[in-house]
A and B are shown apart, each in its own frame.
Chain A
Amino acid sequence: MAVATGKSFVSRFGVHIAVFIFVAIWTIPTLGILVSSLRDKDQIIASGWWNSFTSSSQTEAGRLPPASAQVEKDGKFVLQGNIFGDGPARNISAFGVKSAAPTQYPAGTTADLGDGVTLQLNADGSFVMTSPKAFESERGQRVYYASSAPPKFTTDNYDTVLFSEGIGRSFMNSLTVTIPATVIPILIAAFAAYALAWMRFPGRALLIAVIIGLLVVPLQMSLIPLLKLYNGVGSFFGVPSKTYLGIWLAHTGFGLPFAIYLLRSYIAGLPREIMESARIDGASDFEIFVKIVLPLSFPVLASFAIFQFLWVWNDLLVAMVFLGTEGDQIVLTAKLNALLGSRGGDWEILTTSAFVTIIVPLIVFFSLQRYFVRGLLAGSVKGG
């Protein structure tokens, strides 16, 4: 736009800042799960992901060994060892013995616990506790410490979700649903769109009006009758009612009004002369469609394909009604929803699974954004 509203430095600067803030709000949430999915799972709960590049510190509690582990040395009773046991070493910065003051003493110093009892806890976790009297308690001394671990990034989470949480399998299921459910409606819609745009037959105007009306019919209207229909067909023929074929046809049905609407408005805009000259040369409608209309319609076919792909891949409702929820049928969105229930607090699983489910749409979206926007502009009557 040629009109600069306010040419002063301040107002221009303000625009940059404002846009920057919007971009930040719109990207940071996604960045959060990407970063978290690559973090070590213990660190995810120890510190916010925005701190993931600095050492994470946390206050923990541990117990020293019980009295049975003591040895007598130089007239004193000594407990010795490492508070981390065989676990991974961390860096202790401070420790304490009261929950109210968990970081009372810096690491490496010797704390006086009264009655001549002393405790020394070093940065690497090794400790020495001495007492003039024999330790008696069978429960070891409780020790609090602040430890920090260096930033740790790993792809372990991806290994876990892909191969042991079933996300890999669901990924395949999603592809199995999405590809046919994208291709089948294109073919059916393209023929119908051509007929509605360029062929004369009674009832054409009515058919177009019906299709525009169907554009906004909520999916919810179809669910119960189709579920009943599928169950009926399944029991009549003695086949399962939840099948891939069933969901392909369902997605085809739900995508068709938009497909026909989008393709028809594009095909109707193709130049009349091309088609008329082909007709004079003796080409039939079928030949005109295959040899002229289809190649010329490539951009709009691509637009629709992207739409349908994203819509089917991202769909949860249709998949939950028409597909099973077991391993060989559950799609990514449904799996992610199930994980939210069963692995509610395990953010390493959730963030990683979420990223796996959104990566394919993001790639499709970024590589084909041009077609996507074109389709959006042409078909913005549709209710999504």
Chain B
Amino acid sequence: MAAQIFSAIFVIIIGVGGCVAYFWGANKALDTIFPARGVSGKAAINNLRRQGVIRPWLFVGPAMIILTIYLIYPVVETLRLSFLDRGGGHFVGLANYQWAFGDREFRNSILNNIIWLAVVPAACTFLGLIIAVLTDKIWWGTIAKSLIFLPLAISFVGASVIWKFIYEYRGDGQTQIGLLNAIIQYFGGQPQVWISLPFWNNFFLMIILIWIQTGFAMVILSSALRGIPEETLEAAVIDGANPFQIFWKIMVPQIWGTIAVVWTTITILVLKVFDIVLTMTNGQWNSQVLANLMFDWMFRGGGDFGRGATIAIIIMIAVIPIMVWNIRQANKETEGH
């Protein structure tokens, strides 16, 4: 272990040092090859121009290389692999897609993903909004927000253990040590094995993600609410609007943009949800989702890269509308400058 700590520190120094050395060295080299100082006026201007052409690429170069290897090339390659067989050796056309839509487990995953998409972003946004409004009214609101925000720092695996402990079921005659079953029993109900209840188990898994992400929605929406001009609220009060009217008719319409951002952000997260399903059920009892199914096919029986890639492409297709919308928004913003 000591050796590992030592080698880790050593490698950190090498890695970070390497980055620094590259940027410093590349700039130094550029200044030496095309010196702008200590040469005649005309040469200096020429060299400065050359520097101006080359230097941006020295700055963005490493980022471009890494992005190309780790994101751009894989997107193209995954698309290509989805038309090949399991080993990637033979072209099979749309056979993988045909397989997918005929496969019971895949259709189950799609259905579950749709339920996740319908429930989780809505629940997080709604709860986040309610909590943001309520905590704004009380003196200990900041503390309350911190505590509700806290699960955002917890890993999905950690959160899964936390909630698995809540859903824990113990057989008849044993003390229920899971909070949910203990409460059910206290009120005279029958304890259940929650995570293996078909269909409903999906909701017990969703609760975990909602628990994690509500804090995110709350923080973003809370800051948007603060940006609402006071006058609009005061005018509404003077006009005799009740709290619900103020909330729905004055506050919510003014923060639609932010609500959309929160909603889409959580939507993307939900499409990729993997850890929770893997650790809670590993897709058993009809709780499979696309990301976990993909992981499964990557390694199942030595790995079927064709099918795995196909599932990844289907996740990607669901993300594309959001991607296009983001790029458009960003272009609008830069044009505004």
Task: Say yes or no: A180 contacts B12, CB within 8 Å.
Answer: yes
> B192 an interface residue at 8 Å Cβ cutoff?
no
Task: Say yes or no: A188 contacts B66, CB within 8 Å.
Answer: yes
The residue from A26, A50, A210, A320 contacting B148, defined by CB atoms under 8 A apart: A26
Contacts of A220 in B (CB 8 A): 272, 291, 294, 311-312, 315-316
Task: Say yes or no: B295 contacts A180, CB within 8 Å.
Answer: no
> A208 an interface residue at 8 Å Cβ cutoff?
yes
Residues from 3 to 35 in A contacting B, C-beta threshold 8 Å: 3-6, 11-12, 15-16, 18-19, 22-23, 25-30, 32-33
Task: Say yes or no: B62 contacts A191, CB within 8 Å.
Answer: yes
Task: Say yes or no: A214 contacts B67, CB within 8 Å.
Answer: yes
Contacts of A382 in B (CB 8 A): 265
Task: Say yes or no: B233 contacts A3, CB within 8 Å.
Answer: yes
Identity of the chain B residue whose Cβ is nearest the Cβ of A191 in the assembled complex: B59
Residues from 153 to 204 in B contacting A, C-beta threshold 8 Å: 153-158, 160-166, 168, 170, 175-179, 182
Task: Say yes or no: B298 contacts A223, CB within 8 Å.
Answer: yes
Given known contacts A337-B278, A347-B165, A357-B155, A224 and B56 CB-to-CB distance under 8 angstroms: no
Given known contacts A1-B225, A30-B150, A337 and B62 CB-to-CB distance under 8 angstroms: no
> A87 an interface residue at 8 Å Cβ cutoff?
no
> B83 an interface residue at 8 Å Cβ cutoff?
no
Contacts of B15 in A (CB 8 A): 180, 183-184, 248
| Bound CA span A223–B155, Å | 20
Stretch at the interface among A70-78, A117-125, A148-156, A195-203: A195-203
Given known contacts A4-B137, A383-B272, A209 and B331 CB-to-CB distance under 8 angstroms: yes
Contacts of B170 in A (CB 8 A): 45
Instruction: Tell me if A's interface is mostly helix, strand, loop or mixed.
Output: helix
Residues from 294 to 327 in B contacting A, C-beta threshold 8 Å: 294-295, 298, 305, 308-309, 311-313, 315-316, 319, 322-323, 326-327
The residue from A216, A244, A253, A313 contacting B66, defined by CB atoms under 8 A apart: A253
Contacts of A270 in B (CB 8 A): none
> A94 an interface residue at 8 Å Cβ cutoff?
no
Contacts of A336 in B (CB 8 A): 157-158, 161, 279
| Bound CA span A45–B177, Å | 7
> B119 an interface residue at 8 Å Cβ cutoff?
no
Task: Say yes or no: B243 contacts A29, CB within 8 Å.
Answer: no
> B114 an interface residue at 8 Å Cβ cutoff?
no
> A101 an interface residue at 8 Å Cβ cutoff?
no
Contacts of A210 in B (CB 8 A): 67, 72
Identity of the chain A residue whose Cβ is nearest the Cβ of B305 in the assembled complex: A224
Mask for B63-94, Cβ within 8 A of A = 1, else 0? Answer: 11011011111110110010000001000000
Given known contacts A23-B147, A191-B63, A214-B71, A284 and B298 CB-to-CB distance under 8 angstroms: no
Q: Whole-angstrom distance from the CB of A254 to the nearest CB of chain B?
A: 7
Given known contacts A19-B135, A49-B177, A30 and B74 CB-to-CB distance under 8 angstroms: no
Contacts of A362 in B (CB 8 A): 150, 153-154
Mask for A337-373, Cβ within 8 A of B = 1, else 0? Answer: 1001000000100110110011001101110010001
The residue from B5, B56, B150 contacting A201, defined by CB atoms under 8 A apart: B56
The residue from B140, B153, B278 contacting A310, defined by CB atoms under 8 A apart: B153
> A67 an interface residue at 8 Å Cβ cutoff?
no
Q: Whole-angstrom distance from the CB of A195 to the nearest CB of chain B?
A: 4
A: number of interface residues (CB 8 Å): 126
> B55 an interface residue at 8 Å Cβ cutoff?
yes
Mask for B201-235, Cβ within 8 A of A = 1, else 0? Answer: 00000000001001110011001011000100110
Residues from 242 to 286 in B contacting A, C-beta threshold 8 Å: 242-243, 246-247, 261-262, 264-266, 268-269, 271-272, 274-275, 278-279
Identity of the chain A residue whose Cβ is nearest the Cβ of B161 in the assembled complex: A354
> B11 an interface residue at 8 Å Cβ cutoff?
yes
> A179 an interface residue at 8 Å Cβ cutoff?
yes
Mask for A217-229, Cβ within 8 A of B = 1, else 0? Answer: 1111111111111
Task: Say yes or no: A32 contacts B165, CB within 8 Å.
Answer: yes
Mask for B116-158, Cβ within 8 A of A = 1, else 0? Answer: 0000000000010001001111101100101111111111111
Q: Whole-angstrom distance from the CB of A320 to the nearest CB of chain B?
A: 8
Contacts of A228 in B (CB 8 A): 77, 88, 305
> B45 an interface residue at 8 Å Cβ cutoff?
no
| Bound CA span A300–B91, Å | 47
Stretch at the interface among A104-112, A132-140, A169-177, A234-242: A169-177
Instruction: Tell me if B's interface is mostly helix, strand, loop or mixed.
Output: helix
| Bound CA span A362–B329, Å | 34
Mask for B1-45, Cβ within 8 A of A = 1, else 0? Answer: 100110010011001100110011001000100001000000000
Task: Say yes or no: A184 contacts B175, CB within 8 Å.
Answer: no
Contacts of A169 in B (CB 8 A): 1
> A292 an interface residue at 8 Å Cβ cutoff?
no
The residue from B8, B20, B233, B334 contacting A205, defined by CB atoms under 8 A apart: B334
Identity of the chain A residue whose Cβ is nearest the Cβ of B233 in the assembled complex: A3
Task: Say yes or no: B162 contacts A15, CB within 8 Å.
Answer: no
Contacts of B233 in A (CB 8 A): 1-3
Contacts of B59 in A (CB 8 A): 191-192, 194-195, 199, 285, 289
Contacts of A248 in B (CB 8 A): 15
Q: Whole-angstrom distance from the CB of A378 to the nearest CB of chain B?
A: 11
Contacts of A47 in B (CB 8 A): 175, 177
| Bound CA span A153–B59, Å | 56
Task: Say yes or no: B230 contacts A2, CB within 8 Å.
Answer: yes
Task: Say yes or no: B70 contacts A369, CB within 8 Å.
Answer: no
| Bound CA span A364–B16, Å | 22
Identity of the chain B residue whose Cβ is nearest the Cβ of A321 in the assembled complex: B298
Contacts of B311 in A (CB 8 A): 220
> B115 an interface residue at 8 Å Cβ cutoff?
no
Task: Say yes or no: B137 contacts A350, CB within 8 Å.
Answer: no
> A84 an interface residue at 8 Å Cβ cutoff?
no
Contacts of A366 in B (CB 8 A): 146, 150
The residue from A168, A221, A314 contacting B155, defined by CB atoms under 8 A apart: A314
Task: Say yes or no: B57 contacts A201, CB within 8 Å.
Answer: yes
Task: Say yes or no: A256 contacts B66, CB within 8 Å.
Answer: yes
Contacts of A175 in B (CB 8 A): 8
A-B contact pairs, 12 of them (CB 8 A): A1-B226, A3-B246, A23-B147, A47-B175, A179-B8, A201-B57, A218-B272, A218-B312, A222-B71, A253-B67, A254-B71, A284-B55
Given contact pairs A12-B137, A188-B19, A223-B308, a sample of 14 additional A-B residue pairs in the complex whose CB atoms are under 8 Å apart? A3-B230, A22-B127, A28-B179, A36-B165, A47-B177, A48-B175, A58-B175, A168-B1, A184-B16, A205-B334, A217-B316, A222-B74, A224-B77, A362-B150
